[in-house]
Amino acid sequence: MSADYATNPAVNTLRDYLRIRSVHPDVNYDECLTFLRSQAAAIGLPVQVFEVVPKKPVLVMTWEGLQPELCSVLLNSHMDVVPVFEKSWKHPPFAGEIVDGVIYGRGVQDMKSIAVQYLEAVRRLKNKGMRFKRTVHLSFVPDEEVGGAKGMAEFVKTDHYKNLRVGFALDEGIACSTEEYQVFNGERTIWHLNVICPGKSGHGSLLLPDTCGEKIRYIIDKFMDLRQVSKSRLENDPMLTIGDVTSINLTMISGGIQDNIVPEKMRATFDIRLATSEDLEAFENKIKQWCREAGAGVTYNFNQKDPYVPPTAVDTTNPYWIAFKSSADKLGIKLAVRTFPGGTDSRYIRATGTPALGFTPTHLTPSSLHEHDENLPVEQFLRGIEIYEEILPAVANV
């Protein structure tokens, strides 16, 4: 490890955070809260902890603005990380190991580095004696990696959140391998769908009519044909990214009890991410039509059916975007506006009517979200702090 990195307080703060095993399943957030409370105390920020759902705490640090009556700026991050397969890692996932200028650890991209970049940027700005018009809140939330249903989804419904009076939020994005920095102003709509196909059961040696196998084949063909349309669009238009199209994946097939018995029911489960341009009502009507065409008794239901949430405006109608873009221009960094391909807590914030951008200040770095040996070059991490030092004053003085 470089001697400079070994003594760098920001790097060591990140390494300490990475060593906390806030990993699914059954995350205990107590150690995260202790760590974050100590960070807030060192910076000089008051802390509130809200436990809307038992054992799912939300910690909020507050840097009061000169005009606290104005709507605030929220810097959001999640404390939890996805599971690891430790035998597949070359570097210990919870050691914060640095090798050849690269720091390894579960959550180093997703998204503990961003949380520490927020903290370090605020620390530096505060140490310079700077103050801004708007109050800045830093929120640290649970369970984003399992959908946020017991985290941000519940928190935004509370008076605790409403009392923060959030006017604009920043949340996670994705590292980019090119020169550009990606900024995400919206997300696709998540539908997790089951299609249930009943049919005539009987002996596997017969060619029975009205079987569930025939029906489920029809359904799968329809979904896969539509999937191919999106694949072709991506292949034929280099300007499109995965966030611009509707993705469909068959994720589970279930049914059957024995290899020589035609079952009475089979089920196919699909993960669907609907593009922001998709007409959700028309799409569901298409599914209803396919079920009718597949045969008698075919039905569907949802494990998850998120509503459409409008993207955040990235034009002159949004003063926060103007401030964000101006600070990027001042830094000489190029932004690429994208639709986030997965789901983040931003969607819950946007659903309240608050503009939110997903931004990870990392470029020239492949994304390693959820991968073995998740990693981040230390220089990219440190540069990200400097980027937030420019962005925060801009958006907090809107």
The answer to whether 141 and 58 are in contact (CB under 8 A) is: yes
Closest CA to 17 of 124, 110, 91, 94: 94
Give 265's strand partners.
198
Beta strands in the chain (DSSP E): 47-53, 56-63, 72-78, 98-99, 102-104, 136-141, 166-171, 181-187, 189-198, 202-203, 247-255, 261-262, 265-274, 299-305, 335-340, 356-359, 375-377
- What's 384's DSSP letter? H
Cβ neighbours around 289 below 10 Å, total? 11
Quick check: bond before 111 cis, omega within 30?
yes
| Alpha helices, DSSP H, located in 202-270 | 212-236
Contact 172, 114 (CB under 8 A): yes
Contact call for residues 65 and 7 (beta carbons, < 8 A)? no
Residue 277 tokens, joined: 């341009």
End-to-end CA distance of the chain: 41
Q: CA 267 → CA 199, 307, 382, distances in Å?
A: 11, 24, 49
| Sign of the torsion formed by the C-alpha atoms of 300, 24, 35 and 12 | negative
Annotated active-site residue in 110, 120, 143, 144: 144
> Residue holding tokens 């103007």?
322
Q: Is 144 one of the catalytic residues? A: yes
* DSSP category for residue 239: T
The DSSP letter of residue 1 is -
Give the active site residues: 80, 144
